[in-house]
Amino acid sequence: MREKIIEKANDLFLNFGFKSITMDDLASEMGISKKTIYTHFQNKTKLVEATTDHTFCAIRTGIDTILEEKREPIEELFTIKAFVINHLKNEKASPQYQLQKYYPKIYATLKKKQFEVMQDCVIENLNRGIANGVFLKHINIEFISRIYFMGMNSIKDQDMFPNKQFEVAELQQNYLEYHIRGIATNKGLQILDNLLKTFR
């Protein structure tokens, strides 16, 4: 039952936001009593914590699977982006922004874990891209990996990029293209242009 509660809560939070969904809403959607939910989760904060951890683990597993395929570095970035967007249901309710606003401690913990995982992935991707001749040799890998992570988080800021004006998938696509064009060789740019035709 605990896993079922987490899965349903995750679906509701992604679609309607952490703030909007109450324990009553969750109980109603599942056709169970609120008491049953409280048997597994002391309060909503504990449920949010469990849900974000569940989502993080699921996304990390999916990304690890993609990394094991050892795709061409630029294609790998596009494949990961597509997987994450699909898994997060296009982030209709801006979950990360709401998490930061209403559950700052959980957000801080999640961001730290995301950075640790993403840093390793991006550094490996950059090194392989340089070795394959698709990324410029002179780039500062440590700087690029960190600025890439910061940018990926910043485009989720609803004050800067409101949902009504910027569609999430398009934002992600534009940012990824921006990132690659700044570090790609001519060979890399050709690969990027071909991928843009596929992933648009």
Q: How many Å apart are CA 81 and CA 74, to the nearest integer?
A: 11
Partner residues linked to 135 by β-bridges: 184
In the predicted structure, residue 91 carries a pLDDT above the cut 60:
no
Across the range 105-117, mean pLDDT stands at 93
Q: What is the pLDDT of residue 169?
A: 85
Q: What is the DSSP letter of 134?
A: S
Q: What is the pLDDT of residue 164?
A: 85
> Exposure of 37 by Cβ count < 10 A (0-12 exposed, 13-18 middle, 19+ buried)?
buried
Q: What is the pTM of this model?
A: 0.88
Q: What is the pLDDT of residue 110?
A: 93
Structural domains of the chain, with CATH: 52-199 (1.10.357.10)
Q: What is the pLDDT of residue 92?
A: 58
Average model confidence (pLDDT) across the chain: 92
Q: What is the pLDDT of residue 89?
A: 64
Retrieve residue 22's tokens. 């109450």
Q: What is the pLDDT of residue 65?
A: 96
Q: How many Å apart are CA 124 and CA 142, to the nearest integer?
A: 11
